[in-house]
Amino acid sequence: MDADITLHVDGRPRQVTVDTRTTLLDALRERLGVISPKKGCDHGQCGACTVLLDGRRVLSCLVLAVTRNGHEVTTADGLAPAGALHPVQQAFLDHDGYQCGYCTPGQVCSAVGVLDELDAGWASIVTPDGAEPHLDDEEVAERMSGNLCRCGAYAGIRAAVTSAGGAR
């Protein structure tokens, strides 16, 4: 069965007719030509398809597009609408947080999600010794653990997220 839906993608309303079984990832890539979210596993295991849905990070391969009619989707492209890089994107550049780049749009969206979750109080950093909470390498590794990088650029990715987090 088909359904007519509108997705607000990177600030633009986009109308599309989708089979009700179509994932958000397939709607973006194959129906709307929005290709920065990547299809790695298509099973919720790699994070390459991560986008921000109403401001929160989701795996778009696990979301049915028809269930998000009228919602806001932000991809890595939408983080730099006027060509000026988002601070997290700049941090990935500054810290060599990528090699092939395939996982990078998902990594960047996930990193923005991590920092926004902390800023909004949806998540908090727990320090057992009572020290001031801070976003260190270990904390970033845990919070970014849903995003795999086959190139092994993890050190640069963690450095980028830690740096961007510290600058907020």
CA-to-CA dists, residue 122 to 17, 32, 116, angstroms: 34, 31, 8
Contacts with ligand FES, 7-46, as mask; x by CB under 6 A: --------------------------------xxxx-xxx
Q: Which of 114, 149, 160, 164 binds ligand FES (CB under 6 A)?
A: 149
Task: List binders of ligand FES among 84-113 (CB under 6 A).
Answer: 98-104
Q: What are phi and psi of 73, to 5 degrees?
A: -120, 125
- Is the Cβ of residue 123 or residue 155 nearer to ligand FES in the bound state? 155
Nearer to ligand FES, 114 or 153 (CB): 153
Residue that has been written with the tokens 């849905």 in this structure: 53
Give, as one character, the DSSP assignment of residue 150: T
What helix, strand, coil percent values describe the chain, rounded to 5? 40, 15, 45
Binding range to ligand FES, per CB under 6 A, among 14-22, 70-78, 137-145, 150-158: 150-158
d(CA 32, CA 155): 34
H helices of 2-136, where? 24-26, 87-94, 104-120
150 binds ligand FES (CB under 6 A): yes
What number of chain residues touch ligand FES (CB under 6 A)? 23
Q: Which residues bind ligand FES (CB under 6 A)?
A: 39-42, 44-49, 59, 61, 98-104, 149-151, 153
